Amino acid sequence: MEQIESDNLPPLGETIKKIRTEKRISFDTLAKETGFSIDFLMKIENGETVLSIGNLLKISRAIGVESGFLFQEKGAKRNNRITAHTRRTDNYAYETLSPGTENKHLKAFKVSIEGNTEHKGVSNQHIGEEFIYVLSGSVEVVIGDYATIVNQGESLHFNSGIHHTMRNISETRTEFIAILYTP
């Protein structure tokens, strides 16, 4: 699958801000719809914080766009699959594997986390379930107080309503499929 470099895409926060302001959605309304503080929403739009997939789904629903839309460059489609990657930090990249599912409960993403780098784990908590399958490398998943390592070829299914973090613990790039079910 063709990869479009993040340089071709506006920052994710900028895209969210543009959509929010075009639709005249106030920070107050967005905060009520997502449960996020206005300060956190401002940090997202200013590119000052990492936005997890679960939180991205909450925001995309609240602003009325399909989450995959936030990943794509204008006109960047092939075979009806969104091919763009966007980096939310210097070390994380996300690709939607289920475009056109804005009204569905199940979403799939391919996540890449660079190796040999110091990086903050992505922190998240959202109602539903999550399943990850590691394609390469190793990812540390901390769910509440429970930490586990998921290696290449292994999977993990968990209650995503419990606060959880993920980070690459290998020296090479880690790639995994993340499937989120949100009721």
Domain that holds residue 115: 6-181
In whole angstroms, give the CA distance from residue 67 to residue 79.
18
Residue-level pLDDT at 73: 46
Looking at the domain assignment, is residue 150 inside a domain?
yes
As a whole number of angstroms, the distance between CA 138 and CA 21 comes to: 39
CATH number where 105 lies:
2.60.120.10
CA gap 38, 65 in Å, rounded? 20
Please report the pLDDT score of residue 127 as a whole number: 80
Work out the mean pLDDT of the chain and round it to a whole number: 78
pLDDT digits (tens, 9 = 90+) for 14-34: 889 999 999 999 999 999 888
* More confident site: 116 or 83: 116
pLDDT at 142 over 70: yes
pLDDT of residue 120: 63
pTM for the predicted model, two decimal places:
0.63
Number of domains forming the structure of the chain: 1
